[in-house]
């Protein structure tokens, strides 16, 4: 739910197409293309110059948004207490399944000490997204999600995201209220290798060029503002069935060099519309895959528990 979103812009040598790639850590790993009829032939050095002079020309903020609700197919339900037990006893496995996405990303559960070290950032993100405040000293956990490598336009991009995971349990046990997981994006970092010129462009557009932000933190934090929040819970759909639900939202605000926006083949509004459509498409792909795996895992656990109880009898 990004994490630091990477927007990489690249012109072809004939300037007849423009490709914008959102390469998010946990959700966004797709690209979309804008095409135009070239007025003149130009090299990518024009883009280099535009980015070097961005401070003189100012910046414009683009917003990419997506918000969706997903429901699994109904799963068998003996009692709602079995759902509660599933969330609590299988919490670590559920964290990994929720963060796996369509690419079955690698999710590592960090230690309590590592989670506590990120508590301040996590608290700030939770307040902005409307989630419950985390308490790593009481069992809330940060996971590091690695989406694997991506090769694009001569670059190799490796990305890790830090996602806070909080299990919220109902005040009473055995009731009709499901526990829920809240997933909050904290931060991420891309490691980019490739030709120096392309790495320069990537770092300028993602705020990873080492330039101090307006807050003085030196990591380009003023270039992008990302809010990502996900709720996972269950609802009774009938007397004998339950449905797993994921509510997820992603809001990415990217500061773009104004000069670069002027040479885009589409308007700012159209770019935001197409970017948001790409966000939603990726949310659908990743979240649907996670829900299917969770429903299958729940049915597997239920069968194993039933078989175990039968053996004891």
Q: Is residue 182 part of a domain?
A: yes
Q: Is residue 2 part of a domain?
A: no
Q: Is residue 291 part of a domain?
A: yes
Q: Which residue in the block uniquely carries the two structure tokens 């999600």?
A: 145
The per-residue pLDDT for 311 is 66
Q: Is residue 185 part of a domain?
A: yes
Q: What is the pLDDT along the chain (313 residues), one digit of tens a residue?
A: 333 333 343 322 222 322 222 333 333 333 333 333 333 334 444 444 444 454 445 778 888 888 999 999 999 998 888 999 999 999 999 999 999 887 777 889 999 999 999 999 999 999 988 999 999 999 999 999 886 666 666 777 777 889 999 999 987 555 567 999 999 999 887 778 888 887 887 776 665 655 543 333 444 444 457 788 999 999 999 989 999 999 999 888 777 777 766 776 778 888 888 888 887 887 888 889 899 999 999 999 988 877 666 666 5
pTM: 0.73
Question: Closest Cα partner for 28 from 252, 279, 246?
Answer: 279
CB 26 within 8 A of CB 3: yes
Q: Which domain holds residue 208?
A: 7-312
Q: Is residue 67 part of a domain?
A: yes
In sequence order, the β-bridge partners of residue 258 are: none
CB 277 within 8 A of CB 66: no
Q: How far apart are CA 195 and CA 153, in angstroms?
A: 10
**What are 53's two structure tokens?**
């002079």
The per-residue pLDDT for 172 is 59
The per-residue pLDDT for 159 is 77
Q: Residue 166: helix, strand or coil by DSSP?
A: strand
CA 23, 24, 26, 30 torsion-angle sign = negative
The per-residue pLDDT for 265 is 74
CB 132 within 8 A of CB 182: yes
Q: Is residue 136 part of a domain?
A: yes
- Domains held by the chain: number: 1
Q: How far, in Å, are 44, 304, 306 from residue 311 at the CA level?
A: 69, 11, 9
């Amino acid at each position: 739910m990004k994490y630091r979103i990477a927007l990489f812009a690249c012109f072809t040598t004939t300037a007849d197409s423009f490709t914008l790639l959102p390469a998010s850590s946990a959700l966004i790993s797709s690209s979309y293309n804008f095409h135009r009829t070239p007025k003149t032939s130009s090299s990518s050095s024009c883009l280099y110059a535009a980015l070097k002079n961005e401070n003189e020309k100012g910046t414009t903020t683009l917003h990419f948004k997506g918000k969706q609700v997903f429901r699994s197919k109904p799963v068998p339900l003996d009692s709602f207490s079995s759902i509660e037990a599933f969330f609590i006893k299988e919490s670590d496995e559920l964290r990994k399944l929720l963060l796996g996405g369509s690419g079955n990303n690698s999710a590592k559960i960090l230690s309590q000490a590592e989670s506590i070290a990120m508590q301040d950032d996590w608290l700030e993100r939770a307040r902005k997204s409307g989630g419950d405040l985390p308490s790593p000293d009481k069992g809330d956990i940060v996971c590091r999600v690695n989406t694997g490598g991506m090769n694009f336009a001569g670059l190799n991009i490796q990305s890790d995201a830090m996602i806070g995971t909080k299990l919220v349990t109902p005040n009473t046990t055995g009731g009709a209220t499901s526990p829920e997981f809240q997933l909050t994006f904290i931060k991420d970092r891309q490691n980019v290798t490739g030709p120096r010129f392309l790495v320069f462009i990537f770092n300028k557009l993602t705020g990873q060029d080492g330039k101090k932000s307006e807050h003085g933190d030196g990591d380009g934090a003023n270039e992008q503002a990302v809010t990502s929040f996900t709720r996972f819970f269950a609802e009774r759909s009938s007397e004998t069935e339950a449905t797993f639900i994921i509510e997820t939202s992603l809001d990415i605000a990217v500061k773009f060099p104004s000069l670069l926006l002027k040479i885009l083949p589409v308007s700012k509004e159209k770019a935001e519309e197409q970017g948001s459509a790409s966000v939603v498409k990726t949310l659908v792909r990743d979240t649907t895959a996670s829900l299917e795996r969770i429903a299958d895992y729940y049915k597997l656990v239920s069968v194993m528990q039933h078989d175990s109880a039968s053996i004891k009898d």
